[in-house]
Structure 1
Amino acid sequence: MEFPDLSPRVRRGLCLGMTSLFVVQAGLALLERGSISWGLIAAFGVVTALLVGPVAWAARDRIPRERRENLGYALAGLAVLSIPLVVGVGLVTGTVGLFYYEGLIGTWIGAVIVVLAEETVVPERLREPAR
């Protein structure tokens, strides 16, 4: 079975949509838990937007598309490999899952801010992929 060639915009939308499902689940779990740390959610959102946005825009401007894709795979692999480390440290310190929901929701909000800023504020010349 072959998959259709999707535009980068559609792929980004699908990725954000699927991540949104996890965020909805996290929000429901927070509501069930009863205590929501809005300050922590905002902090995760701001830090994500400030770190991810400029790095992504600079990489898009300076690194060719094929190389960015390979770097993306490498970074995704590192992120997946870091999950057991983070859970292990959380188990040792007794803080496993302490900020999971707040971090997930805040990071998602930060990613949405980056995408919206890119689509509305960032100049067209910075949005075009490097050649």
Structure 2
Amino acid sequence: MPSETTSTRLRAVRYVVFAGFALFVAGRFYAAEPRPWGAAAAWAAGTAVVLGPTAWLARDRIPSDRRETLTYVAWGVGLLVASVWLGASLAFAPALFPGTSGFVAGVALGTAVVLLAERTVVPDRMRGAGV
């Protein structure tokens, strides 16, 4: 039976992985010419608007064991999509995917905004409670 609290080591690993990904995205975004500010802003806003309420509702409405199973499924689908995307970009040349840097930077920024907003704006009593 899994524990109800996340260990500090696992939390630290999550932060390190997310920080490494953020550094990678920032470097890739900085290297892009011209920098896709519009695409990054659009993807960040879209990700924050879609992911924020979706994550909050899922945490509120779905039991934790079911949510864990759905998380594994979502990661599997994400890995499948990422591998297909990588294969297509390698097969058809990166010039066909000019907005990739903006997409990745925007999604990373939108996810960070959602996580930050949830930790700072949403009250503790409403996180995971039956609201």
Contact 1:57 1:126 in 2 (8 A): no
- RMSD, aligned CA: 2.7
Per the alignment, do residues 121 and 10 of structure 1 end up closer, same or farther by CA in structure 2, a change over 3 Å counting? Answer: farther
What are the equivalent positions in structure 2 for 1:1-131 lying under 5 Å apart?
Answer: 7=6, 11=10, 14-90=13-89, 91-92=91-92, 95-96=96-97, 98-128=98-128
In the TM superposition, what is the alpha-carbon distance from 1:62 to its structure 2 partner? Answer: 0.8
When normalised by structure 1's length, the TM-score is 0.77
Number of residue-to-residue matches in the alignment: 125
Could you tell me how far apart the structure 2 residues matched to 1:56 and 1:10 are? 23
Could you tell me which amino acid in structure 2 is paired with residue 55 of structure 1? T
Q: Which runs of 5+ in 2 are unaligned?
A: none
Cα separation, 1, equivalents of 2:38 and 2:16: 24
Any idea what SS the aligned residue of 2:122 has?
coil
Runs of 4+ more than 6 Å apart: none
Report Cα offsets for 1:66-118 as digits up to 9, x if no partner.
1101100001001111123334554458524x222222211111111111111
Distance 1:112 1:13, change over 3 A: farther
